[in-house]
Amino acid sequence: MRECSGWFKSKLKEEYERLFDTCQVRSGKLPAVERVIVNILKNQERYEKVGHRLRIPWYFIAVIHSMEGGLNFNTHLHNGDSLTRRTQHIPRGRPKSGTPPFTWEESSIDALEYEKLNRWKDWSIGGILYKLEKYNGWGYRSRHPHVLSPYLWSFSSHDTKGKYVADGRWSESAVSQQV
């Protein structure tokens, strides 16, 4: 799915905003969501440091960190692989420059620049949700349009069964346990 600002503004942005406005955390999942929020806030300064350098909201980076690495600062923001070597999963071989082990900040800057997020200007709710879904991949939209991406809607009223359990591996019955 290619990026097209006109198409984004007219279709997806409205969809993301409507879904966000109607989204509710499932009551049984609220304690898990609250724990993640507390852990994110404990590390807000680290997210701000990277975000300030690239002009990206710190909370956007924190959400990716939660989804890709479970808020573990020993993992690449790209995909959750260990910082002790270059990424092994998609995108493979990142960061291209430098010598492992990488710091979380070095790797995060590489991940965000690799995705060209430092060039994105629309940090509205719709813009954030668009970039989060793009970061994770368009597989749900292109191959499983009956399932809203758990990367965006896990633990919410919009979450259903069906999930990629690994890169390119789909399970119709899997339910996301990520926050």
For the residues 84-108, what does the mean pLDDT come to?
A: 98
The domain ranges of the chain are 26-136
For the residues 80-99, what does the mean pLDDT come to?
A: 98
How confident is the model at residue 121, as a pLDDT? 96
Strand partners, 156: 25
Interatomic CA distance for residues 88 and 92, integer angstroms:
5
Give buried/exposed letters for 77-104 (b at 16+ CB in 10 A, else e). bbbebbbeebbeeebeebbeeeeeebeb
How confident is the model at residue 147, as a pLDDT? 97
pLDDT tier at 179, thresholds 50, 70, 90: confident
CB 105 within 8 A of CB 69: no
How confident is the model at residue 149, as a pLDDT? 97
Strand partners, 8: none
Q: What is the CA radius of gyration of the chain?
A: 16
Give buried/exposed letters for 154-178 (b at 16+ CB in 10 A, else e). bbbebbeebbbeeeeeeeeeeebee
Interatomic CA distance for residues 71 and 87, integer angstroms:
17
Interatomic CA distance for residues 108 and 12, integer angstroms:
26
